[in-house]
Structure 1
Amino acid sequence: MDEPRSSFRPALWERLEGNTTTYLKQVWFPGTHANIGGGWYDQQIASITLAWICDQLTPLGVEFNPHSLTRLFYSSLRYSAAHPYPSIPSPSIFIPSFIWSIILRYRIPIPWAFTPKPCPPPKSTQRIDQANCTDDDHHPHGSPEQLWKFHGRPWGLGQTRFPTSWFQLAGGTVVRRPGCYMRVDPDNNKDTTEPLLNTNERVHSCVRLRLRLGGMSPDDRQTWPCASLLEDDSHGEKPVWRLERGKTISQRELDQDTAFWDSELADDKKDYDSREIYNMQDGDGDWNWVFEDDAVIKNSTGETVRPLTKVLPEEPLVGYWERCLLALTRGELDDWRLGEEGVPGTVNGGKFV
């Protein structure tokens, strides 16, 4: 959602009306290009996207090694325990790196979420890392419960990063618009006013949690505004989508997913450990993002457009891998439960306060 480079336009697919065989699903996550695919030191959001794609591929017959993936998820937890406030880049190319390092040495961190829940207030002696993590493995070991006591960033609240290439940013920036993309004219590569059909776009639950708990924007500059969902193109700070309770995803799909995973986890030949997954409660994840009719949306050529999609459902957490990662990284206060109950963030007219 946070990728600003216009040259990195998302490759959204559509399913034409005559196509009754293809199942298409596309899900939006927080962060920029490398946060989703991996590459930064804080891999938390990349771990969430990895767990999601593993849950999509497992029902298709693709197998993953539980021990290897769990070890990968555990390494992300260890990193967060060691680096609750990772290094952030200088906001200006005119500030030399050694000067910025000195600034960070005396700068008190901004809490990575609302305080005191889920983020304890930073200690007076706590500082932002002056440099990125080295390749040396100096991160603490221990059980998840022991590592949570370091007050690293729990599930969905990991650091995201702004692109570092000023050359790529010079090509133009844009705010991504879930549910509002138009077809592109193949002759000139420009947007039309024809909406894409049957995109089946969804918003991942970590987006809601990050907003409701006051997670940070890229490079920890401020509380995440999520302009993609909450700021339209009228420059009046009107939301594009508002969060509402409700279930839009069909019960048939949910039943099919649940039946598959119940059977998969019961297979003694597999190395799953059902004790390692987060136990969802009734109603968890039953959220929708509903389009605001007075929102102003413009395509890349500046023309006002109207999307066909009026509701973006939240992608449910049903599979083993996502619930395994959540159980491992939910934190001491269980940030998933805080995000469901809306503590301490609230929603007012589509804006999070």
Structure 2
Amino acid sequence: MFRRGSLKGGDDLASNVTRISRAIKPASSDSIPQIVYYHYGVGSQGGIVDRVYGGATGQGLSEAVREGYSYLATNWEIGDEIFLFGFSRGAFTARAIAGLIDNIGMLTKDGLPYLAEIFRDVQHRHDPDYKPKHPNKPFKNKPSVMDPRYSHELERRGMTRLRVPIKVIGVWDTVGTPRIGWLEKVGIQSSASKRMSFYDTRLCDCVEYAFQALALDERRSAFQPALWEKKPGNETVLRQVWFPGVHSNVGGGLEDQELANITLAWMMSQVTPFLDMDLDYVLDQQDDTERYYKESKQKPRSWSFGKIVDSMTGIYALGGATTRTPGRYYVVDPTDGRKTDIPLQSTHEYMHPSVRSRLRLKGPGVNDEGLYEPKALRDWKLYVEYDGEKGRGGRPDIFWKLRASDRNVTARTIPEAPLWPLERELLEIDPEIEDFVLRPAPTARNSVRRMHNAGRSQSRRR
């Protein structure tokens, strides 16, 4: 969406992108229009085969990026604030649009007629053998987009506006091209990866705030997450938080939205300093979830105890299973989209209190079978510590610490994310869980449980 300008990519179901778009007020308290543009995510429409093929090959991604970018370039004016939201490949699309803005700025009405050719130039910026289809468009003797002279010449000719800030990118579980074994074997997947690799989804310097909710329990190899890292000198405020659940538990769109309500409240909390939102919306969504439990003759579920579905089913399961690895992700080669052996740095990862709650209070496992025992945390240990003088009357220091000896890691400790006022309102619906979350017992130094956080209590917003 955008304040007098902003954008979203997302899902046709009640995903969190859909829901946050509905929570944004038409105008701010000081009468600034808050305009929402919604675009369906790649691989989210059609039958199962169409969705799998579209998602796995990135079919439609170029169109989604161009359409979203074109909308912004047509409507954006100096002083407007840009907000990009997305879930899954919609998140990838939002990040790719940000990368396009970072590379070529915001095209003017004089530059937009050349968008197709400029877009091709951006697509092939890593290809030393690239021969432009129209070598004299948008201007003669153009260098590679990698050369700053390209964007500077666009600016000199009045075709673009450079150094355009993006206020916020808020995403749920970014996924690019899911890798599916049988598609790789027939050559479709590898060519798709090549086409997808040009998209610039790194954390751009032009982004002021970047927020990502990550699914701790997603196991499909086809749905590996794309984390951001902050490069030296980058001043973006970055928060990437792990939540219990699989891809759609975190991004929303399932019948049981309890876990998705938690991630929605978290994201709304991150952006409310910059956007005017209906803060009762998430509480209304929780009411809808309670109504679902009643109508489906289920017992109401405690905070953080929403059903985690088994995502290892159907055609995507053919790609195999991979346990997610908080604190241990690697740089991706921009030329082919494949993982390198270089660990990401400065990822600013956090563990949400709902992970600790579901684990320590013996919440249900996948499909409500057994207890919640996330494989992603098998190498991590939870610590809850209090100041010696204040005891449990003080603020706890809560964090997860890596027990593995692997030196090639991004982070050896992951702090627990603080709960913001809107999140606290959701938690207050369940007083018993609230007491456990806000006043946890300290862990012994030799405790076998694994966890990590740096929680902080906050007063209610309203």
Q: Same fold (TM over 0.5)?
A: yes
Is 1:210 equivalent to 2:425 in the alignment? no
Give the 3 Å change call, closer, same or farther, for CA 167–347 of structure 1 in structure 2.
farther
Cα displacement (A) at 1:182: 1.0
Give the C-alpha shift of residue 243 in structure 1: 0.6
Q: What secondary structure sits across from 1:63 in the alignment?
A: coil
The Cα shift of 1:158 comes to: 1.2
Tell whether 2:439 aligns with 1:290: no
Question: What is residue 290 of structure 2 aligned with on the other side?
Answer: 77
Partner of 2:422: 321
**Residues 43, 191 of structure 1: CA spacing in aligned structure 2 closer, same or farther, 3 A cutoff?**
same
Does residue 36 (structure 1) correspond to residue 250 (structure 2)? The answer is: yes
* Higher strand fraction (1 or 2): 2
Give 1:7 deviation, angstroms: 1.5
What TM-score does the superposition give when structure 2 sets the normalisation length?
0.46
Secondary structure (helix, strand or coil) at the match of 1:243 reads strand
Q: Using the alignment, how far apart are the partners of 1:341 and 1:25 within structure 2?
A: 23
Structure with larger RCO (C-alpha < 8 A, sep 6+):
1
CA distance in 1, matches of 2:426, 2:307: 17
1:18 equivalenced with 2:116 (yes/no)? no
1:48 paired with 2:262, answer yes
Structure 2 counterpart of 1:186, from 318, 334, 348: 334
**Contact conserved, 2:249 with 2:308, CA < 8 A, in 1?**
yes
Per the alignment, residue 382 of structure 2 pairs with 243
Say if 2:321 is the partner of 1:173.
yes
- 1:81–1:313 Cα change, 3 Å: farther
| Cα distance change, pair 64–191 in 1 and its aligned pair in 2 (3 A) | same
C-alpha separation in 2, matches of 1:8 and 1:176: 10
1:298-336, Cα deviation, whole Å (9 max, x unpaired): xxxxxxx6203111000011x2210111112x15xx113
Q: Deviations over 1:145-169 (max 9, x none)?
A: xxxxxx5211111111112642111
In our comparison, the structure showing a higher alpha carbon Rg is: 2
SS of 1:336's equivalent in the other structure is helix
Structure 1 match to 2:275: 62
**Tell me, which stretches of 5 or more residues in structure 1 are unaligned?**
86-150, 231-239, 248-280, 297-304
Report SS of the residue matched to 1:46.
helix
Residue 177 of structure 1 aligns with an amino acid whose one-letter code is: T
Give the 3 Å change call, closer, same or farther, for CA 64–282 of structure 1 in structure 2. farther
Letter in 2 for 1:288: F
The separation in 1 between residues aligned to 2:339 and 2:376, in whole angstroms, is 18
Sort the Cα spacing of 1:58 and 1:244 in 2 relative to 1 into closer, same or farther, 3 A: same
> In the alignment, is residue 8 of structure 1 matched against residue 223 of structure 2?
yes
Matched to 1:218, the amino acid is V
Q: Is the 8 A contact 1:82 1:152 kept in 2?
A: no
- TM-score between the two structures when normalised by the length of structure 1: 0.59
**Corresponding residue to 1:156 among 304, 307, 314:** 304
Q: Please give the alpha-carbon distance, in whole angstroms, between the structure 1 residues aligned to 2:255 and 2:243.
A: 18
Match for residue 311 of structure 1? Answer: 413
* 1:336 matched residue in structure 2: 434
Identical-pair percentage: 34
Q: Which piece of structure 1 moves more, 26-35 or 65-74?
A: 65-74
Give the counterpart letter for 2:426 in structure 1: L
Letter matched to residue 310 of structure 1: R
CA distance in 2, matches of 1:76, 1:32: 18
Aligned in 2, Cα 1:199/1:153: closer, same or farther, shift over 3 Å? same
Corresponding residue of 1:135: none
**What runs of 5+ residues in structure 2 fail to find an aligned partner?**
1-215, 387-392, 452-462
Counterparts of 2:305 and 2:395, CA distance in 1: 22
Distance 1:220 1:347 in 2: 30
Q: Which amino acid aligns with 1:312?
A: I
| Aligned AA (1:326) | L
